[in-house]
Structure 1
Amino acid sequence: MATITPTIHPGMICTVEEFMRSITDTSIRCLTRGESLGLTAVTASALLSLLAVLYAMSIILRGVVWRFRHVREVRLHIFHQPMDLLIFCLFVADILQATGAVMDIKWIHTGKVEVGTFCNAQGIVQQLGETGVAMTTLLISLFTFFGIWMGKDIRSMALTSTVVGAVWSFIILMVVLGNVINRGQDVHFQAPTPYWCWISEGYLQWRIWGEYIWFWITLIVSTVIYVPLYFWSRGNIQIDDRAWWKFSFQRAGNSAVDPALKGVRRRALIMLIYPLVYCVSILPLSIIRWITFVNKGSESGTATFIILFIYGLSGACNVVLFLTTRPNTALFGRVVAEGYAAGRAPSLLSEDRQSIRDNANANEEETEAGQEKEGSEDIPLGRLPSR
């Protein structure tokens, strides 16, 4: 009986033996020409994000070197406010996430994704980066919400450092435990999934608790937080200064007449754009993952590559957002120690508070002189103004 030789798809680099093995063996995946092109596009977007974040980090490093040389008072303080530390951690996670995607260059070159040392390394870097981006974005959302809505002015860098340290310790612990406990098992822990290496489908619980759950928590929490704070920034919601759980609705035209207060609300809304960017990039990816959970093998390769291309640009979007909205912060600029408060609330700068207080004092003086003006109350430092 004649042996039937399988036909390899046009453009495949795999040998006949490797292609035959990939049919029944999940430890190897031969890429078609279309899959290689899709992976190339994903790698290009990740490379763009990697270069953008590295550029931002070089600016941060330049500012740190300048301060160490010229400002003695802040030589030991790289970060001066909680949001600086959180943004820096977000950039670090963006670098890891982008690096994991750029490592796909090897699979494009060889035409196959296969288990091994490089595969394990890519899976580890991917999990560190993607989970790090998700959890750091969650912290940015929560810090912004605490400062605006609840009036919890988080000024302590020690507290912020502790929270950030706990988050990254958890991420590293999950990565280490997953790779150590499942070493030597019949099913590889890191394997083709299928266009790159990550936690294989035989370890669903590790996928969920090591990464997926944080995607979904960040997505839900950021959405729930963004909606009310968006309407607060427009002046539609007024928060009670004495009880954060009490608020009322009003027409936007009846509030926020103070230009300084408008500036505060705009700055607060800007800090929520980071979670919004993440939600826009992660929502389609989460839908694809859920479809895969329910109906295995039903995902579309083209749709997956398009979504991952968009997701890969999240790092570049974060850099563009930061450079256009916060270019003069201590994290980027050459800030001297004088007049710079260490650990101010993440969404309200000290100049905003001073401007509001100055306007309030001016209004009080005019009221005493017989001129009727609104908004003359002093704004407590413990809460962002809601009126």
Structure 2
Amino acid sequence: MDTAIPTRSGIICTPEEYAASLNSSSLIRCLTRADSIGLTITSQAGLLSLVAVLYVFIIIIRNAIYRSRRRSMRKWHIFQEPMDILMLSLFIADALQAIGAVMDLKWIGTGQVEAGQFCSAQGIIQQLGEVNVAITTGIIALYTFIGVWMGRGIRSNKITGAVVGAAWFLVALLTLLGAVLNRGSGKGYERPTPYWCWIGEPYLKWRIFGEYMWFWMTLLVSIATYIPLYLWSRGNINFDNASWWKFTIQRADHSEGLRGIRRRSLIMLLYPGIYCCVILPVSVVRWIGFVQERGGHSDHVPPAASFASVAIFGLSGACNAILLLTTRPEAGLFSRLNRDDMGLAPASPPLQPKEFAASGSNINADEEHELGRLPSR
């Protein structure tokens, strides 16, 4: 095996480090100039998401301070409805995922990815962030589906808080168990893979059950909930108000009155929709790598494909922040006023199609305040 460092490759490792990096089980990866450029792109995507998420947190803190200082407030709650808890969980996870991507700057500076404390920290932070983004997104999809299809929207903050808390505990437990059970000198549980640090190739089961299983579950849940709700928003599906499991299929209803309910039902589905768009490329690329590794071959996925898919995935935090700021939900964490102070009912469900004729012009007025809230029928 030729261990000479290629000329004009941009590699700054010593000959000994480069020779060690050629071993497939090596705990070091020497970066070429092209690798550093690719990492620059992924870290910039993560930095963009981090800045966007921090801006959302600034808005939350500003609004919380504003509401707490208002003397007219009779009673103030941080979380006024389940969506507040879900969105806070989503953006905390987005922040962790973005921090993990920004940590790639370390490898660009040193010219090599090497196992160690910093490497382990990056792998753990990324796992905590990425898996919790997936699970929280899946919960949002399920909440939306339950509220619309079953007509029984979950309005309990305690139940939602318990669900979100259990999800974070499960992810933390999986991450901790993986790091502790596979700890040891030379084991390299968190190692170069190969351009950043994550769960190493010998630990395929931990890769799948500790992270990718949740990605794919969220994809399936998002697709399974989006299709029927989209058809419902078009008027192709009509629910039986007495029995949630009964429905009829009909021609699309293009009446003007359905415009508001369509917008409300699809707004929250945009979060799972965006997630599907950003996770699909990286899932396909890494699945190809898994198949090659299981077949006894090394991972021959083109570096450009890996960097492009990870950069797209790293933009999920920015996409979620833009979606939130665009829909501007007038509730809880993201408004200066409580819903009671705005003169709004805390949980006014969308009207059924047969009720639109009697509601008249009130639809457009209510619609402005319902954007971004978890819908129900």
Quote the offset at 1:384 in angstroms: 3.8
User: Within 5 Å, which residues of 2 pair with 1:337-376?
Assistant: 337-338=340-341, 339=343, 344=347, 350=348, 352=350, 360=358
Matched, 1:19 2:18: yes
TM-fit CA distance, 1:108: 0.5
In the alignment, the residues of structure 2 paired with residue 195 and residue 135 of structure 1 have an alpha-carbon distance, to the nearest angstrom, of 26
Q: Aligned to 1:291, which of 288, 291, 315?
A: 288
Structure 2 residue aligned with 1:371? none
User: Mapping of 1:125-274 within 5 angstroms?
Assistant: 125-184=125-184, 186-253=186-253, 256-258=255-257, 261-274=258-271
1:52-71 aligned at under 5 Å gives the runs: 52-70=52-70
For 1:3-25, what per-residue CA distance to the aligned partner results, in whole angstroms no more than 9, with x for missing partners? Answer: x8613352112111110111125
Distance, in Å, in 2 between the alignment partners of 1:5 and 1:280 is: 41
TM-superposition CA deviations, 1:303-358 (whole Å, max 9, x none): 1111111111111010111111134333211113444555x4xxxxx285599979
- Residue 72 of structure 1: CA displacement? 3.6
User: Which residue does the alignment assign to 1:304?
Assistant: 306
Q: Distance in 2 between matches of 1:354 and 1:230?
A: 16
Q: 1:235·1:256 contact (CA, 8 Å) conserved in 2?
A: no
The match for 2:320 among 318, 321, 346 is 318
Structure 2 residue identity aligned to 1:14: C
- Name the stretch that deviates more: 231-240 or 214-223: 231-240
Using the TM superposition, give the Cα deviation of residue 257 of structure 1 relative to its aligned residue in structure 2, in angstroms: 4.1
CA displacement, residues 249-274 of structure 1 (integer Å, 9 cap, x when unaligned) = 22223x6442xx42122111111010
Secondary structure at 2:198 match in 1:
strand
State which structure, 1 or 2, has the greater radius of gyration over its C-alpha atoms.
Answer: 1
State the Cα deviation string for residues 193-219 of structure 1 (Å, max 9, x = none).
110001111111111111100000000
Q: Output the TM-score relative to the length of structure 1.
A: 0.86
* CA offset digits 1:180-201 (Å, max 9, x no partner): 1111164211100110001111
Partner of 1:28: 28
SS in 2 for 1:73: coil
CA distance 1:87–1:15, change in 2 (3 Å): same
Distance 1:227 1:168 in 2: 28
One-letter identity of the residue aligned with 2:90: L
The secondary structure found in structure 2 opposite 1:252 is coil
The Cα RMSD (Å) is 2.3
Aligned-pair identity (%): 52
> Are 2:5 and 2:18, in contact at CA under 8 Å, matched by a contact in 1?
no
Match of 2:365 in 1: none
Q: What secondary structure does 1:331 align onto?
A: helix
CA distance in 2 between counterparts of 1:355 and 1:248 reads 14
Instruction: For 1:270 and 1:164, locate their aligned partners in 2 and report how far apart those are by CA, in whole Å.
Output: 21
2:269 is matched by which residue type in structure 1?
L
> SS at 2:333's partner residue?
coil
Scaled by the length of structure 2, the TM-score of the pair is 0.88
* Corresponding letter in the other structure for 1:287: V
> 1:124 matched to which residue of 2?
124
Cα–Cα, structure 1 residues 53 and 362, in superposed 2: closer, same or farther, change >3 Å?
A: closer
